[in-house]
Amino acid sequence: MHYIFDFSWIWDYGPVILKGLFVTVELTLVGAVAGVSLGILCAWIRTLGPEMLRPPVAAYVELIRNTPFMIQLFFIFFGLPSVGVQLSELQAANLAMIINLGAYSCEIIRAGIEATPKGQFEAGAALALRPLQTFRLVILVPALQRIWPALSSQIVIVMLGSAVVSQIAAEDVTFAANFIQSRTFRAFEAYMLSTAIYLLFAIALRQLLNQLGRWIFPKVAAR
């Protein structure tokens, strides 16, 4: 093996890489916040919500969990325009990530809700809370607390999965690496750099989510 590594291009492409990192971070943040919100809504429907809505939500969750993220993304970006829904690459990437995480987090959060002792529901009823109030004030937070580690892992998995959005020309970290390798022909170095960026971001994100969990659910730390 006679290969000389060459990272001298790195200074010329700093802005491209930073822009890519910014897009990946933005996609992750929007995807995480909106995706988990969607997941909470779907989990509520599947456990306590109106019976009528349960089958369609179950179908949505199963459909998303059993198809690749890339195909969901392609369907949204390439397929939807033919029925009149035209999205920019960033909008399509955001939407795909929200829909994807929504389905996975629904299953995770549902497990948390189902593990709630029955007495909690009865306690809510005994305090004359309406079902929705019981859910919001009594059930939801301990349920989220229970499944926070699993939810954190899923958010990191979705972030790593976002590398695929470069395939619809959303300008994320992977897109930057593709761009650099097409200009410099230093493919291996470019992907090594982008891999390192993802690894560091994954570690940072996991730390952040741990801290966030400690901040949202302070009682766990005290116990």
Partner 1 sequence: MSDFTTWDILRNLLLATRWTLVLSLISFLGGGILGLAILFLRIGKSPVGRYFARGYVELLQGTPLLMQLFLAFFGLGLFGIDVPAWLAAGAALICWTAAFLVEIWRGCVESIPKGQWEAGQSLALNHVQQMRLIILPQALRIAIPPTAGFSVQVIKGTALTSIIGFVELSKAGTIVTNATFQPFVVYGFVALIYFAVCFPLSKFSKHLERRAAAAYATR
| 127 three-state secondary structure | coil
* Identified binder of partner 1 from the candidate list 20, 112, 161, 213, rule CB under 8 A: 161
Does the protein bind partner 1 through residue 192 (CB under 8 A)?
A: yes
* Identified binder of partner 1 from the candidate list 50, 51, 83, 128, rule CB under 8 A: 83
Does the protein bind partner 1 through residue 55 (CB under 8 A)?
A: no
Does the protein bind partner 1 through residue 84 (CB under 8 A)?
A: no
Does the protein bind partner 1 through residue 78 (CB under 8 A)?
A: yes
* Identified binder of partner 1 from the candidate list 137, 141, 199, 212, rule CB under 8 A: 199
Does the protein bind partner 1 through residue 7 (CB under 8 A)?
A: no
Does the protein bind partner 1 through residue 175 (CB under 8 A)?
A: no
**Does residue 139 contact residue 113 with C-beta atoms inside 8 Å?**
yes
Give the angle subtended at the CA of 156 by the CAs of 195 and 182, to the nearest 5°.
Answer: 30
C-alpha–C-alpha distance, residues 96 and 107, integer Å: 17
Smallest Cα–Cα separation from 99: which of 38, 48, 42? 38
Least distance in angstroms from the C-beta of 125 to partner 1? 28
> Residue 60 has which token pair?
């949505």
